[in-house]
Amino acid sequence: MLTSHLSLPRSVNGRLAPAGSAPRGRSFGSRARAHCDPVAPPRPAPVVLGLGSLMETFAVEVRRAESRALDVPLAAPFTIATSRLERVGNVAVRVELRNGCAGWGEAPVLPSVTAEDQGTAMEKAREACEALRRSPAMGLGRALGQIAAILPGHDFASVRAGVEMALIDAVANSIGTPLWKLFGGASNTLTTDITIPIVLPAEAADLALKYRKQGFQTLKLKVGKDLKADIEVLQAIRAVHPTCSFILDANEGYKSSEAILVLDKLHEMGVTPILFEQPVHRDDWEGLGHVSRIAIGKYGISVAADESCRSMDDVKTIVKGNLANVINIKLAKLGVVGALDIIEFAREHGLDLMIGGMVETRLAMGFAGHLAAGFGCFKFIDLDTPLLLAEDPVFGGYKASGANYRFSNARGHGGFLHWDNIV
């Protein structure tokens, strides 16, 4: 079970009461963040509850819920082994509770990875929002269960995550606590890697040099389309950033023999990646296990399952066959509640954890960052995609200084959109 703890005010009837110092709530048309209505009962003595208890005891009653398309251009095209992206086409979600407190979420859409496209995500988000608006007051856990019933499995995991984020953020706003504390309070800072997509060697070197000057020590390199070109890019990056740590991410692009050949070539160059992410196709369980055994046994390199881990059943398959050393947790492929379950299971079975994302704004990435900082158990942090966008539509939220993220004591994840500007 979840063991995160926080101090929450409890009302006399057993429901959790909103914090008494909340600022005035705003309507959906407002340009400012909706926090909470100004009038609230006096704060009783706090009691300590875990996140599981919060799901059972906090009464959720949704007053408004809405989703809108969230379109943001990338600073440069983002190419991986399976797709090329020039702009973000995600879905923003806003949920406002009866107490006036609101939360924000984001459903990231990456058709080569998520099952939804933007149109499907919009349609399903509207369906979930409508169901929340029509529902009577219920416990947070039951409300999240209702969302899961409307948006089941991997087919709707991304939009489910967006709605879950918004609802949990609204609850965190209600109790006046930041999400990193809600998720355990281990830390309020993270250090992320940054990704170099599939580009020519000269461009990769330019990016590596820029990121070196910005203080990034871990570079995540997208590979998997052309074995020879991948090696040339690695050599170019190594020349300008010789002290950096590497994560290789093949996004299913290699056959197992090719993945092992890459490791052999890197060894000849004197380069040892700290992680090799999803080297083979997500359904190639035998190949994944083979690469993992060679990588860890011969070179001491961990292998992460990303696309191969889309459900608890996938994680159980990985554990049973000892097929990978690391699980990449992405809220958009698991949902928030599903991710929490898998984090617990993976830790119980000795797997290391990575936190990642799709191509997201600071709404979804902020939520994931709060989760990772609060838990404090993630060995690899890959929360960089807002840094790759041409513009930042999110106000408030975490502060980024190069590779370092700091999460404040603002309630929830602290990020919001000017809703009128989201067409």
The residue with tokens 């809405």 is: 66
Q: Contact, 218 vs 243, CB < 8 A?
A: no
Nearest to 107 by CA among 123, 118, 95, 96: 118
Nearest to 325 by CA among 363, 361, 291, 359: 291
Nearest to 263 by CA among 253, 254, 273, 255: 273
- Catalytic member of 124, 181, 220, 222: 222
CB neighbour class for 297 (10 Å; exposed up to 12, middle 13-18, buried from 19) = exposed
- Catalytic member of 106, 193, 306, 314: 306
- 222 catalytic per annotation: yes
- 392 catalytic per annotation: no
Quote the CA–CA distance of 253 and 114 in Å, as a whole number. Answer: 17
Nearest to 192 by CA among 408, 310, 368: 368
Quote the CA–CA distance of 108 and 191 in Å, as a whole number. Answer: 22
- Catalytic member of 330, 360, 382, 384: 330
- 249 catalytic per annotation: yes
- 330 catalytic per annotation: yes
- Catalytic member of 249, 252, 258, 384: 249
- 306 catalytic per annotation: yes
CB neighbour class for 18 (10 Å; exposed up to 12, middle 13-18, buried from 19) = buried
Quote the CA–CA distance of 276 and 262 in Å, as a whole number. Answer: 10
**In b/e form, how buried is each residue of 186-204, taking b as 16+ CB within 10 angstroms?**
eebebebbbbbbbbebeeb
Which residues, in sequence order, are CB contacts of 257 under 8 Å at separation 6+?
none
Which residues are known catalytic residues?
A: 222, 249, 277, 306, 330
